[in-house]
Structure 1
Amino acid sequence: MALIREKRLRQLHLSLPVPPRAAGQRPNPTFTPAPAPTGVKALTPTALSSQFRLADFDKLAVLGRGNGGTVYKVRHRETCALYALKVQHYGNPAAAAEADILSRTASPFVVRCHSVLPAAASGDVAMLLELVDGGSLDSIRSRLQGTFPEEALAEVATQALSGLAYLHARRIVHLDIKPANLLVSTAGEVKLADFGIAKVLSRAGEQCNSYLGTTAYLSPERFDPEAHGGHYDPHAADVWSFGVTILELLMGRYPLLPAGQQPSWAALMCAVCFGEAPVLSDGAASPELQDFVAACLHKDYRKRASVAELLAHPFLARRDVSVSKCALRKLVADVSSESRRC
């Protein structure tokens, strides 16, 4: 489904009721906050390697195209190692910002950037990224005959939230969480990708006023920051986008509009800012999963769960870890195998 990406949204003045809250008062979640999982060995961020040249690689396939850039599957001629090469055209400033952010990160839940390869003749900038062989969750959803099973969704959610916890702890906000920007390997590893509009906050508690983003995944307060004092909490905005993403994987389609409706800007604005959450049919999701999604999609950002609270939610905290990991690996393997047969 084609989604609209606005560089700047028109200023709207939406009358969204926001109940007052006493100073210092926090919403009372129905679950206890907990830190992100610590079972994976920490990596140390390092300067991006300069040992590679564009001439060292053969392009094998186009993995994706987006605003101002293309991602290729490439092979290093000497070692035969496979990578993803993201080429930002015509000196797109987002490339430098993305490379800077990725140079600050070293997490198993964030796609790794090995090198930045300038192409002086064309003005293009290329980032040499790790190749995540299962593709994006959006591509898997589009090829899947059905919806994501809850066990696989729990694993996706845990790893994606672990990536967000890592970023938020370093004052980095993604601002464009969606299925197309979550990659998964055939080993069942989920990684956050595409940091083209991500932002490094200068201080804890800093708010944002950026209108950039994929319209369908913008939170209500991002549609009209002026209605919220001209700024919004970017951490809560990431949680909303994550919640829409999980609901989309569960339903097998974009969830905030009726099936088949074109995602125009006006339709999305009405759905996000005024619409009710979709009603799931009986048996479509467990009560734990429904409560988990609801915790992400409070229209009042102050009532939205934090990343730490979501990681402690019963839908994730009480899952059978081995079963959920196995379910995700099987899902990716089945879809990949079906794709090869086709």
Structure 2
Amino acid sequence: MAAARERRLPQLHLTLDAPTWAFRCPAPAPVTAATPSTSAARPDGEFRLSDFDRLSVLGRGNGGTVHKVTHRRTSALYALKIIHRGHPGADEEVEVVRRVDSPHIVRCHSVLLTGSGDSALLLELMDGGSLDSLVRAGQGGFPESALAEVAAQALSGLAYLRARRVVHRDIKPANLLVNSAGQVKIADFGIAEVVSRAGKYRAAYEGTAAYMSPERFDTERSLHVAGDEEGPVDPYAADVWGLGVTVLELLMGRYPLLPAGQELSWAALMCAVCFGELPALPDGAASPELRGFVAACLQKDHRKRASVAELLVHPFVAGRDVAASRRALREVIDQRCR
């Protein structure tokens, strides 16, 4: 089965472990008066691309590039995401970012005209980079108190998206951005989907294989249609799986579902995700609450996987010391962005 599916991989919009947007901690701006982009969202057309100077590249992906930019008149800092014309999902991403407005989602201030047919999203700048960049800083895993805050804020973002029938489909450390205030926000809606009121959505092999849920590896089961003998697949369950892998990765300081150093081939990932056991954590490496939270996220049967609403009241999240958890997360961000 693995060999048959691997032959189909070139036709898929799929990556293995490489993040779609490899956000780094933004470099200090050369303009000392610059301030983060925290102003209210503005209607399309109020900003122009010519109003901004590009300072540095924050990340690159298959579909385009994200730049750190400054507004010439106000010196406010933003992230500018240029999506290349014709890239699959470009129209859907613009639709989704226009639909959402939440403190747990990276804010889109405006959709700008480029003159070349590319889409340009003027986004809130997250000055701490991504959780992926913090893990790759090479200082080991996150303390558990910081993990609880990451989980709580990401779940709040997923709850907001579900209320608006949006499935992200690529939850991973690279797509969870942070700032120096200790906020965690969901980013990159390049393969997001709006679920119809009838409960249907576009089932497709897109995203990052390392964070895909078992049901998304099976094209037949991933079709969301009425009359399935097992019942329709809950499209939101895949985002819970991605969050579970993310939390486990932040705890271990490396990708958790394969042994350290093993190449992340598609076949190895498919076997690990669909059939492998969760990694054994040493005694004392995690509390019972954290172990239970990860296990609830990483149920291979999507019907047994915890929902976002259930995870928000899980003891690992609801029972945390909020002030201590936020402080721990801010300390991690500060230490690893130096």
TM-score, reference length from structure 2: 0.84
Equivalent position SS for 1:301 = coil
Unpaired segments of 5 or more residues in structure 1? 11-44, 338-342
Deviation at 1:87, TM superposition (A): 0.5
Question: Which residue does the alignment assign to 2:12?
Answer: 8
Tell me, yes or no, if the aligned pair for 1:165 and 1:307 is still in contact at 8 Å.
yes
Q: Return the alpha-carbon distance in structure 2 between the equivalents of residues 91 and 115 of structure 1.
A: 20
Unpaired segments of 5 or more residues in structure 2? 1-5, 15-39, 226-232
Structure 1 residues 208, 123: CA separation in 2 closer, same or farther (over 3 Å shift)?
closer
Residue pairs, 1:1-342, within 5 angstroms: 8=12, 48-120=43-115, 122-203=116-197, 205-206=199-200, 208-227=202-221, 232-337=233-338
Equivalent position SS for 1:325 = helix
Equivalent position SS for 1:238 = helix
Equivalent position SS for 2:140 = coil
Deviation at 1:163, TM superposition (A): 0.1
Moved over 4 A (4+): 4-7, 227-231
Tell me, yes or no, if the aligned pair for 2:194 and 2:201 is still in contact at 8 Å.
no
- The letter for the 2-side match of 1:189 is Q
Structure 1 residues 109, 7: CA separation in 2 closer, same or farther (over 3 Å shift)?
farther
Structure 1 residues 183, 228: CA separation in 2 closer, same or farther (over 3 Å shift)?
closer
Deviation at 1:94, TM superposition (A): 2.4
Question: Which residue does the alignment assign to 1:21?
Answer: none
Q: Return the alpha-carbon distance in structure 1 between the equivalents of residues 237 and 71 of structure 2.
A: 40
Equivalent position SS for 2:95 = helix
- The letter for the 1-side match of 2:79 is A
Equivalent position SS for 1:90 = coil
- The letter for the 1-side match of 2:209 is T
Deviation at 1:136, TM superposition (A): 0.4
Q: Return the alpha-carbon distance in structure 1 between the equivalents of residues 297 and 188 of structure 2.
A: 22
Equivalent position SS for 2:247 = helix
- Spell out, residue by residue over 1:205-264, the C-alpha distance to the aligned partner (whole angstroms, 9 max, x if none): 435522111111111110013146666321111111111111111111110000000100
Deviation at 1:72, TM superposition (A): 0.3
Structure 1 residues 223, 243: CA separation in 2 closer, same or farther (over 3 Å shift)?
same
Q: How many residues align?
A: 299
Range that drifts further, 197-206 or 105-114: 197-206
Q: Return the alpha-carbon distance in structure 1 between the equivalents of residues 320 and 41 of structure 2.
A: 35
Structure 1 residues 280, 204: CA separation in 2 closer, same or farther (over 3 Å shift)?
farther
Structure 1 residues 6, 97: CA separation in 2 closer, same or farther (over 3 Å shift)?
farther
Tell me, yes or no, if the aligned pair for 1:171 and 1:204 is still in contact at 8 Å.
no
Equivalent position SS for 2:299 = coil
Tell me, yes or no, if the aligned pair for 2:104 and 2:157 is still in contact at 8 Å.
yes
Percent identity for Structure 1 against Structure 2: 66
Structure 1 residues 48, 92: CA separation in 2 closer, same or farther (over 3 Å shift)?
farther
Q: Which has the higher contact order (CA 8 A, sep 6+)?
A: 1
- The letter for the 2-side match of 1:328 is L
- The letter for the 2-side match of 1:190 is V
Tell me, yes or no, if the aligned pair for 1:221 and 1:227 is still in contact at 8 Å.
yes
Equivalent position SS for 1:226 = coil
Deviation at 1:282, TM superposition (A): 1.0
Q: Return the alpha-carbon distance in structure 2 between the equivalents of residues 108 and 65 of structure 1.
A: 25
Structure 1 residues 51, 318: CA separation in 2 closer, same or farther (over 3 Å shift)?
same
Tell me, yes or no, if the aligned pair for 1:99 and 1:113 is still in contact at 8 Å.
no
Tell me, yes or no, if the aligned pair for 1:292 and 1:313 is still in contact at 8 Å.
yes
Structure 1 residues 205, 227: CA separation in 2 closer, same or farther (over 3 Å shift)?
closer
Question: Which residue does the alignment assign to 1:40?
Answer: none
